[in-house]
Amino acid sequence: MNTVATRYIKMTAARYLQDYQIEFEFDDQTKKVIDFENFLKQAKNPMLKKYLDLAVFKNFTLRDGDIDWNDYELCFPIANIYEGDL
């Protein structure tokens, strides 16, 4: 039986850039810029549409290595952000 070591990636920084773009840094020095605009415009859940308001969108925090909007009302798996795949 093969054993595969799993490495957990931790988000270390999240910085708002412009429009719906946020730059993320991870503990392995990887940086990713994610544009959330298409995701938000295509969202079926009406609660997520409020994040099209840039003042609301920009109001995120980095909590326990994860990006958090409004007590996890809007969140994404870290692996998806790391891969740049929403």
29-38 pLDDT, tens per residue? 999 999 999 9
How confident is the model over 8-24, as a mean pLDDT? 95
Q: List all residues 6 or more positions away from 82 whose beta carbon is below 8 Å from its beta carbon.
A: 9, 24, 26, 30, 32
Burial class, 5, CB count within 10 angstroms (exposed 0-12 / middle 13-18 / buried 19+): exposed
Q: What is the CATH number of domain 11-83?
A: 3.30.2020.10
Greater confidence, 55 or 1? 55
